[in-house]
Amino acid sequence: MRTTIEISDHHRSLLLSLAARKGMRGYSGIIQEALDHYIECQVKSAEAKKEVLKMKGSWTSDDTKQTKARIDEMRKNWTPL
């Protein structure tokens, strides 16, 4: 399907350069790859959020306190690289 999008001259130039390196005549294929990747990441992110929200309330108060204590202890020993 054909559509019109607004992109900067700089982006157009970069896209044409990338397409030429891949042996493509235009940059539609690169745009399609970018859209596929973006959509896949958004779907995974949404699914991950749903999974995390399902776990809400699954830790007991003691679990939370023990985990916080362990994290606090680890942070005491952190040193900058």
pTM of the model as a whole: 0.57
8 A C-beta contact, residue 27 and residue 19: yes
Whether the predicted pLDDT of 67 surpasses 80: yes
**Nearest in space to 31 (alpha carbons), one of 58, 4, 60:** 4
pLDDT digits (tens, 9 = 90+) for 40-65: 999 999 988 888 888 888 888 898 89
- Measured from the Cβ of residue 31, the count of other Cβ atoms closer than 10 Å reads 14
